[in-house]
Amino acid sequence: MVAVTPTTAAAPNARRRAGGRPVLRLLILLAIVAVVLYPLIWMVGTSLKSQEEIVNNVGLLPERFSPGNYTAGWSNFDVSFGRFFLNSAMVSLLTVVGNGLSCLLAAYAFARLRFRLRGMWFAVMIGTLLLPQHVLIVPQYILFRALGLVGGDWPYLPLLIPQFLATEAFFVFLMVQFMRGVPRELDEAARIDGAGPFGIFRHIILPLSRPALVTTAIFSFIWTWNDFFRQLVFLSQLEDYTVPVALTLFIDSTSQSAVGPMFAMSVLSLLPVFLFFVAFQRMLVEGINTSGIKG
Amino acid sequence: MALTTAPDPTRRGPGSARAHPQRRGPGRFRHSEGLAGYVFLSPWLIGLMGVTAIPMLLSLYLSFTNYDILTPFSEVEWVGLANYERMFTADPSYWHAVRVTLTFALIAVPLKLAAALGVALLLNRAWRGVGLFRGLFYLPSLLGGSVALAIVWVNMFNRDGAFNSLLSLFGITGKPWVNDPDWALETLMVLAIWQFGAPMVIFLAGLKQVPTELYEAASVDGAGRLRQFRDVTLPMLSPVIFFNLVLETINGFQGFTAAFVLSNGTGGPVDSTLMYTLNLYITGFTDLNMGYASAMAWVFLIAIAVITAVFFSTGRFWVHYSDGEDR
C-alpha cells in the first residue's frame, strides 16, 4: 500500500516555501478549530445546565454551573450507569488482551516463520481486512445462539471470542509490518545460541514488539469502547448493557427533562477516549499513518 | 493439514529469495519451523474458519431460505432465489435504502476528503503549533463514531439546538433539521465531514513525501501556486488520495450508529436515514427476517467488492506512483 511514513527532511524547505500570509492562514485555522470544537464545548456546557437553562439559555455555556444532571443521569435507569461503565470497561480491556495476544502470535507466524501455504494464508488475511462486519453479523448471531452463548450467564462471549482469535486482521497486518522492521540478525544470533521458533518469539520478538502492542492496545480499546453495532446485537438484558447501548435508552424517553442527564452521561462516556487522546495524542495521530484507517 | 508432512527443501516460500545463506540451517530446524508456523497461526486459523468462513457460508445458504430465528433448523424452507427476487423487484424500501446510502457516500465522502486535503495543505508547513492543530482536528475522528456524539449531534440540529441558535444570530429562523425528511440525512453528512481529521493526517504524511525539488523546478519554469498544486501536488499525492478514497467510501457505505441514533433505530423520518446497514439490521433483528437479511448482506459484500475493483481498475489512469511501477 501507500508508504506514508512522515519524514522531517523536507521541513526546512517547506518553511522556506511557506511565505504567503501567515496571519490569514492562522485566522482560517482558528475558524476551523472553532467549528471542530463547538459541538464538544456545547455538549459539555449543556450537560452542566439546569433543566430551566437548557430550555431558556441557548448559549454555549451555562450561567450557573449545576452538576445535578450527572447524579440524575447516573441513576436514571433501574441499573446505575456505574454498572454500564464496568461492563464497557471489562469488554474493552478483555478485547485489548485478546487482540494483543492473538494478533501477535499470527503476526509472528506471517512475518518470521516459513511454512506451507504461508503466502496463501497471508493473502486471505489481507482479504479479510475490508470485510464489513455487517455482512457477518446475522450468521454469527445464529451460530453463537446455537451454541447457547447469546444471552447466556455471561453474554459477552460472542463479543470477545472473535477478539481472541485474531479476527481483527488490521492489527495482524500492523504487527506484521512492524516485525518486518526488526533486524533478522537478532533471530540469527538467538538461533546460533540454540533458540527455536518459540525461543525467538519469547526472547526477541515479544520484547521488541512493545510499540506495536501499545498501538494495538490503544486502538482496540477506543474502537471497542465506541463500538455500538455488535454490542447492540448481542446484549439484551439491561444489567448486561454497555455504555453505548445504555445511552440509546435515553432516546426512547422523549421527554425534555432527559436531555440534561443524557448529555451528562454522553460526556462521561467520551471521557476515557478523551483522556487517551490527551495522553497518547502524538502516538494516535502518527499511528494512523500506518494504522488508524478506521474512523 | 500440512502439520505432519516433512518440509520440502526445494520449496521457496515468500521472502525466501532474500534469505541469508545461514538460514538454510539444519533440516531439523526447518521442520520445527513449519510446525511452529501452524502452532502460532492456529488461533487465527480457528478464527478464520469459525468466525469468518463458516458464517459466510451459512449466510450464503440462509439467503436461499426463509429462516427466521424462531423456527428450528430442521424446518427451514429452501426458497431458491425468492429473497433476491424480492429485493430486486418487490421491495421499494430496499431500493430506497440503496439510494440513501449512495447519496450519503457520494456527497459526504468527496466533501470530507476535500476538507481533509484543504486543511492538510494549510497545515503543511513546518512551524510551531502544527502539532496542536493536527491533534485538535484529529479529535473528532476519535469521538465521532460513538453513540454519545451522535446524540449530541441530533440535539444540536434539533429545533432548540445550537445550530439554530447560531442561525438566529444572523436573523435566520431554523427548523428541526433532524425531523425534516429533506434535511435529516444532510445532518449526518455534516457529522461525517466533521470527522475529516483521520484522512487529513494521512494527507499530511503524504504531502511531506513530495520532493521540494519538484516545486523548485516548477517555479523556475514559471508555474504559479495553482499550477504547482495541479501539476505537482495532486499527481504526487494521487496514491494517498486513492487510498483515502477507497477507505472512506467503504466506511461511508457502512454508516450505522448515527443513523440509528437519529431515527431511534427506524431509519426515519420517512425513511430518510435508512442506511443500507440499518435496513439490514431492521430486517434481520427487528423483523427477524434472517434469510432475507442474509441475502442483503451478500449483495452488500458483492457491491463493495465490485466498487473496490472499479476503483483499482480506474486508478491506473490517474494514480501516479513515483517509483514508476504500474499497479
Question: What is the tens place of the pLDDT at every residue in B203-221?
Answer: 998 998 888 888 889 989 8
Query: From the candidates A57, A114, A232, A255, which should be mutated to test the interface with B, based on the most B CB atoms within 10 A?
Result: A114
Query: From the candidates B44, B122, B136, B306, which should be mutated to test the interface with A, based on the most A CB atoms within 10 A?
Result: B44
Q: Which residues constitute the domain of residue B101?
A: 92-318
Q: State which residue of chain B sits closest to A142, comparing Cα positions.
A: B69
What's the pTM? Answer: 0.87
Q: Which whole number is the average pLDDT over B277-299?
A: 96
Q: What is the pLDDT of residue A263?
A: 94
pLDDT per position as a tens digit, B97-115 = 999 999 999 999 999 999 9
Residue B133, in any domain of the structure? yes
Residue B151, in any domain of the structure? yes
Q: Say whether A75 sits in a helix, a strand or coil.
A: coil
Q: Residue for cell digits 516485525? A: A179
Q: What is the pLDDT of residue B72?
A: 83
SS (H, E, C) chain B: CCCCCCCCCCCCCCCHHHCCHHHCCCHHHHHHHHHHHHHHHHHHHHHHHHHHHHHHHHHHHHCCECCCCCCCHHHCCECCCHHHHHHHHHCHHHHHHHHHHHHHHHHHHHHHHHHHHHHHHHHCCCCCCHHHHHHHHHHHHHHCCCHHHHHHHHHHCCCCCHHHHHHHHCCCCCCCHHHCCCCHHHHHHHHHHHCCHHHHHHHHHHHHCCCHHHHHHHHHCCCCHHHHHHHHHHHHHHHHHHHHHHHHHHHHHCCCHHHHHHHCCCCCCCCCCCCHHHHHHHHHHHCCCHHHHHHHHHHHHHHHHHHHHHHHHHHHHHCCCCCCCCC
Residue B160, in any domain of the structure? yes
Q: Which CATH number is B248's domain given?
A: 1.10.3720.10
pLDDT band at residue B25 using 50, 70 and 90 as cut-offs: very low
Q: What is the pLDDT of residue B19?
A: 41
Residue B73, in any domain of the structure? no
Whether the predicted pLDDT of A280 surpasses 70 = yes
Of B122, B133, B156, the CB nearest to A42: B156
Least confident of B7-21, B54-68, B216-230: B7-21
Q: What is the pLDDT of residue B327?
A: 44
d(CA B125, CA A56): 44
Chain A residues touching B11 at Cβ < 8 A = 116
pLDDT per position as a tens digit, B260-283 = 999 999 998 999 999 999 999 999
Chain B residues touching A106 at Cβ < 8 A = 40-41, 43-44
Instruction: Tell me the torsion sign for CA atoms B313, B317, B319, B320.
Output: positive
Q: What is the pLDDT of residue B8?
A: 40
**Percent of chain B whose predicted confidence (pLDDT) is above 70:** 88
Whether the predicted pLDDT of A2 surpasses 60 = no
Whether the predicted pLDDT of A288 surpasses 70 = no
Q: What is the pLDDT of residue B169?
A: 85
Whether the predicted pLDDT of A257 surpasses 70 = no
Cβ contact B38–A188 (<8 Å): no
Q: What is the pLDDT of residue B21?
A: 43
Distance from CA of B138 to the nearest CA of A (A): 7
User: How high is the mean pLDDT of chain A?
Assistant: 87
ipTM above 0.95, yes or no: no
Q: State which residue of chain A sits closest to B35, comparing Cα positions.
A: A115
d(CA A264, CA A250): 11
Residue B272, in any domain of the structure? yes
d(CA A27, CA A216): 36
Of A222, A229, A273, the CB nearest to B256: A229
Parse chain A into domains and list their residue ranges: 22-66, 99-242+268-290
Q: What is the pLDDT of residue B23?
A: 46
- Answer yes or no: are the C-beta atoms of B150 and B262 closer than 8 Å: yes
Q: How many domains does chain B have?
A: 1
Chain A residues touching B215 at Cβ < 8 A = 17
**Torsion angle (degrees, nearest 10) of CA A236, A240, A241, A243:** -170
Whether the predicted pLDDT of B10 surpasses 70 = no
pLDDT band at residue B6 using 50, 70 and 90 as cut-offs: very low
Whether the predicted pLDDT of A275 surpasses 70 = yes
Q: What is the pLDDT of residue A130?
A: 82
The domain made up of A99-242+268-290 is a member of CATH 3.30.70.100: no
Least confident of A118-132, B22-36, B271-285: B22-36
pLDDT band at residue A20 using 50, 70 and 90 as cut-offs: low
Whether the predicted pLDDT of B15 surpasses 50 = no
pLDDT band at residue B28 using 50, 70 and 90 as cut-offs: low
pLDDT band at residue B7 using 50, 70 and 90 as cut-offs: very low
Distance from CA of A151 to the nearest CA of B (A): 14
DSSP lists the bridge partners of residue B65 as B78
User: How high is the mean pLDDT of chain B?
Assistant: 87
Cβ contact A115–B33 (<8 Å): yes
Residue B13, in any domain of the structure? no
Higher pLDDT, A283 or A235: A235
pLDDT band at residue A13 using 50, 70 and 90 as cut-offs: very low
pLDDT band at residue B9 using 50, 70 and 90 as cut-offs: very low
Q: State which residue of chain A sits closest to B19, comparing Cα positions.
A: A184
Give the containing element (helix H, strand E) for A167: none
